[in-house]
Structure formats: C-alpha cells, structure tokens
Amino acid sequence: MKEIIKTKQEIKVMRAGGRILAQVLQEVVAAVRPGVTTHQLNELAEQALRSRGAKPSFFGYGAEAGNPYPATLCTSVGSEVVHAIPSPKLKLKSGQIVGLDIGCWYQGLCTDMAVTVPVGQVAEAAQKLLQVTAESLRQGLKQVRAGARMGDIGAAIQSYVEVSGFSVVRQLVGHGVGHSVHEDPPVPNFGRAGTGLELKAGMTLAIEPMVNMGLPEVKVLADSWTVVTADGSLSAHFEHTVAVTKEGYEILTLI
C-alpha cells in the first residue's frame, strides 16, 4: 500500500514525464488524417518520446505472461475499445474515430494518457460520443481529493455517461500508475458514491473511461490484445494521469 503514495519528488518527476507524454500525444493527434497508417502514428510517437529523453512503457508490457505488447501506441479504431496494435496495413479513413493511448517511462517513473479523435469529418453521433466520453473524464476528475472514495469517481462517470445515452465498459478499469504501467488501486468507471477505497494525497491514478455507444460488454480478439465492443458499436476512450492532493487533484499529463 505504501508505494502507491508518491513523494513530492516522485510527483515532480511524473509531472515532467506527463508533460512530455502530452506533448507527444499532441504531435500524434496533429498527424491524424485520412490515409495515414496507424503504424506511421506509432513511429512518430516513438521518435517523439525518445527525442525528449523518455521511452515507451507499453512496448514489451505483458512479457512475463508471454504476451509482450509490440508497440509504443495503442490505436483503436471504430468499435475497437482499447489496446489495438498499430499496423502498416491500416490506413485511417475519413469518418472513423481513433483512440490513441500512450505511456512513457521518464526518470524511472511512468505516466499514461489517451484521447479519441475524429478522422476527417465524422457523423454527429460519433462526435457526441467523443464529447460525452471526454466530459465523463472531467466529471470523474472533479470527485478526486484526499478523503473522497473511489466509488465517487466511478459513480460520477457512470451517471454522466448513462444520462447521455451511452454505456460504460465494466470489464476494464483505470489504475494506479507510476512505478509500473498498471499498479494498485483499480479505478473503476462505475460504482456507488461513498463506497470503496479512501483516496489519499500522493496517490497517482490513471483515470480512463471507456464508453460504448451500445451495450457495455467487450471481448478480446485472437491477437490477445485488441478489445472490441461485443455488439460492434463505436467506442471512445480518454485518459489522464492525476495526482491526488489535499484540496483536489493535479493532472500530470498536461502540455
């Protein structure tokens, strides 16, 4: 339990790493257009991280389980929820949405961040899915402060998403982050206010709502990474790494 509370110095390092991560993700987002391959976005992300003295944290993740993730970025298109592997064969097309998820190591600590963006012009319903998912992350963030409960975050995200007519993925959750890509505590995007772990100053959390246009169920494809919606509906994902403070929170993945 102790190492999930970071020192001021550790949070300072994560703030620096998180800034690099946000800058790199902004560069990747700027490169999204019809015709670009997800592999090209991945190459850009890796170069941009390394040129800033950081390195990818997803690459090789899962090796102990015999299933190392093979890239810097996750590029999840359309009904792909998260963890889709970039490919030189996958050219983005106008009208699609693409989730871009990235993590880095910087001076021994890691941060994690994701956004979902339109490719070219997208349908109004897809645009609404992006807006609602981004706003659900803000609603979750607003609950964060020392003394709040984990369920406060999940309840805020879930209720905002469901009132908006979409559903929250239950099979995957956010997580503590810093000493490893995924560490304790789990951070569900659903739940009941006033329940769950009490948040403490110095915790660093990756809060990452995954929101489906249809049903909440997801499944993993045969590549053992790509998570897709079970009903084939569109899905969006936004993520920030934040530090819990006495008064509230600090987003560490900001430019």
Least distance in angstroms from the C-beta of 95 to Co ion? 27
H or E element at residue 51: helix 38-51
Which option in ligand MF3, Co ion, none does residue 105 bind, with CB closer than 5 to 8 A by kind?
none
Mark 142-171 with x for binding to ligand MF3 (rule: CB under 6 A) and - for no binding: ------------------------------
Rule CB under 6 A: which of 226-255 touch ligand MF3? none
Instruction: Based on DSSP, count helices (H) and strands (E) in the chain, helices before strands.
Output: 4, 15
Residues making contact with Co ion (CB under 5 A): 112, 206, 208
> For the chain, first and last CA: distance in Å?
30
Among 83, 130, 150, 238, binds ligand MF3 (CB under 6 A): 83
Place of tokens 């909440």: 216
What SS3 class is residue 61?
coil
Cα distance between residue 167 and residue 165, in whole Å: 7
Among 58, 106, 160, 238, binds ligand MF3 (CB under 6 A): 58
What SS3 class is residue 148?
coil
Cα distance between residue 72 and residue 102, in whole Å: 7
Least distance in angstroms from the C-beta of 221 to ligand MF3? 14
Could you tell me which stretch among 56-64, 91-99, 151-159, 196-204 binds ligand MF3 (CB under 6 A)? 56-64
Among 4, 32, 54, 74, binds ligand MF3 (CB under 6 A): 74
Cα distance between residue 166 and residue 97, in whole Å: 16
Beta carbon nearer to Co ion, 180 or 245: 180
Task: By CB under 6 A, tell whether 80 contacts ligand MF3.
Answer: no
Q: How many residues does the chain have?
A: 255
Beta carbon nearer to ligand MF3, 26 or 147: 26
Rule CB under 6 A: which of 177-196 touch ligand MF3? 181
The pair of three-digit structure tokens given for residue 198, joined into one six-digit string? 């009490």
Among 6, 69, 209, 252, binds ligand MF3 (CB under 6 A): 69
Which option in ligand MF3, Co ion, none does residue 227 bind, with CB closer than 5 to 8 A by kind?
none
Residue in the shown chain whose Cβ atom is closest to ligand MF3: 58
H or E element at residue 13: helix 8-30
What is the DSSP pairing of strand 73-77 with strand 97-106? antiparallel
Residue among 167, 176, 179, 106 nearest 144 (CA): 176
Sites of contact with ligand MF3 (CB under 6 A):
58, 61-62, 69, 74, 82-83, 101, 103, 112, 114, 181, 206, 208
